[in-house]
């Protein structure tokens, strides 16, 4: 079974609400419950929830452009439990991670290129994504996707997945996608979230079909979770989401997947970047995979890539 960020691993901007087939059936999957906003203080400037979400959407739209020029090193450690009695298996995967915007409508893809597995350097690895994308060729995105898919085979567990990238939840706040979700400010019983007193905990639930994430045979997987937001700037401090894949009789057990990502300021770049991602995939038959990824060695470069995969023309302007 595969849990995918859409059919091609990208975000999918909406063209309007006409394609909705209604709200999804409710289910409880143990994340943080949303609470009514009554009695909760507004932002310091008096903004309400809609305005704060609008600020967050504007922040994400600009943030994608800024982070698309940054490559980072990912240290991703996973543990897979086959059942309650068997010894778990472990892996440590070191990769280059890159976020790349692929068109003018805000679509982007997170690429992972594995360079080291369990302390052993993998052959023909190292800065492949940067060198590939830096040449500006139209086929770079397709080649980078192949590199990322090749790296995905090092994930532990039986469930294939493309959501385990630190920027995945940001899809939900992009201006092209934000109307797909219901948002509620959460009553947490404490001030702020992620250790920031003035931050807002905001829950979200996807209500638009087909959903951004897809599963076995393209089944829609509504996302739910929470954002920790700075209400003044819209800055995203922390994201958390959860997906539930129903049982496919005779094929796969029901599966729950979740991921939490924290962001921190990288002073050299003056940019808030992913610092840590913790993810879990749990199947009803007892199999479970947990992972922790940490990010470091952020570096900036400048490259423009088009999603168009046609080869560039020759010197006379004719197609090659």
- In a domain, residue 113? The reply is yes
- One digit per residue, the tens of pLDDT, for the chain of length 320 reads 456 554 333 333 333 333 333 333 322 222 222 222 333 445 656 679 999 999 999 999 999 888 887 899 999 999 999 876 678 999 999 988 888 776 655 567 778 888 899 999 987 665 666 666 665 545 666 666 666 666 667 777 666 666 788 999 998 999 999 999 999 998 755 567 988 989 999 999 999 999 998 888 889 999 999 999 999 999 999 999 999 999 888 778 899 999 999 999 999 999 999 999 999 999 888 899 999 999 999 998 765 444 444 444 444 444 44
Length of the chain: 320
Domain that holds residue 208: 2-12+53-300
Residue 317 falls within a domain, yes or no? no
In a domain, 132, yes or no: yes
Q: Does some domain include residue 164?
A: yes
Instruction: Give Cβ neighbours of residue 185 (< 8 Å, ≥ 6 apart).
Output: 35, 37, 40, 49, 200, 201, 202, 203
Residue 36 maps to a domain: no
What is the DSSP secondary structure assignment for residue 45, as one 8-state letter?
A: T
- Measured from the Cβ of residue 87, the count of other Cβ atoms closer than 10 Å reads 7
30 lies in some domain: no
Q: How many helices (H) and strands (E) does the chain have?
A: 3, 13
Report the alpha-carbon distance of residue 146 to residue 142 in Å, rounded: 6
Strand partners, 294: 75, 276
Report cis status (omega within 30 of 0) of the bond before 210.
yes
Q: Give the total number of structural domains in the chain.
A: 1
Residue 117 lies in a domain: yes
Residue 305 domain-assigned (yes or no) = no
For residue 292, what is the DSSP state?
E
Rounded CA-CA distance 105/88 in Å is 43
Tokens of 297: 């060695």
Q: What whole-number distance in Å separates Cα of residue 261 and Cα of residue 42?
A: 25
SS3 62: helix
Which two structure tokens, joined as six digits, stand for 44? Answer: 């310091």
Residue spans of alpha helices (H) in the chain: 49-67, 128-134, 140-152
């Amino acid at each position: 079974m595969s849990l995918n960020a859409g059919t091609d691993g990208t975000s999918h901007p909406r063209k309007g609400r006409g394609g909705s087939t209604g709200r999804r059936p409710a289910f409880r999957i143990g994340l943080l419950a949303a609470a009514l906003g009554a009695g909760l203080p507004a932002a310091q400037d008096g903004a309400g929830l809609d305005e704060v979400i609008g600020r967050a959407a504007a922040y994400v739209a600009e943030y994608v452009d800024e982070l698309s020029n940054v490559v980072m090193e990912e240290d991703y450690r996973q543990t897979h439990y086959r059942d309650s009695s068997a010894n778990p298996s472990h892996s440590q995967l070191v990769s280059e991670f890159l976020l790349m915007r692929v068109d003018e409508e805000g679509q982007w893809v997170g690429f992972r290129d594995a360079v080291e597995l369990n302390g052993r350097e993998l052959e023909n690895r190292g800065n492949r994504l940067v060198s590939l994308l830096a040449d500006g060729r139209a086929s770079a995105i397709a080649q980078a996707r192949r590199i990322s898919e090749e790296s995905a085979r090092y994930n532990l567990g039986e469930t294939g997945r493309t959501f385990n990238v630190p920027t995945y939840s940001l899809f939900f706040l992009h201006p092209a996608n934000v109307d797909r979700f219901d948002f509620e400010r959460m009553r947490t019983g404490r001030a702020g979230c992620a250790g920031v007193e003035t931050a807002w905990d905001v829950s979200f639930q996807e209500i638009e079909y087909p959903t951004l994430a897809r599963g076995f045979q393209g089944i829609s997987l509504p996302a739910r979770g929470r954002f920790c937001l700075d209400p003044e700037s819209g800055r995203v401090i922390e994201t958390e989401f959860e997906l539930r894949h129903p049982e496919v009789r005779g094929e796969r057990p029901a599966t729950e997947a979740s991921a939490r990502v924290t962001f921190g300021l990288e002073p050299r770049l003056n940019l808030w970047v992913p610092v840590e991602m913790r993810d879990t995939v749990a199947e009803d038959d007892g199999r479970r995979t947990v992972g922790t990824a940490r990010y470091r060695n952020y570096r900036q470069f400048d490259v423009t890539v088009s999603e168009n995969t046609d080869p560039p023309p020759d010197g006379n302007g004719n197609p090659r």
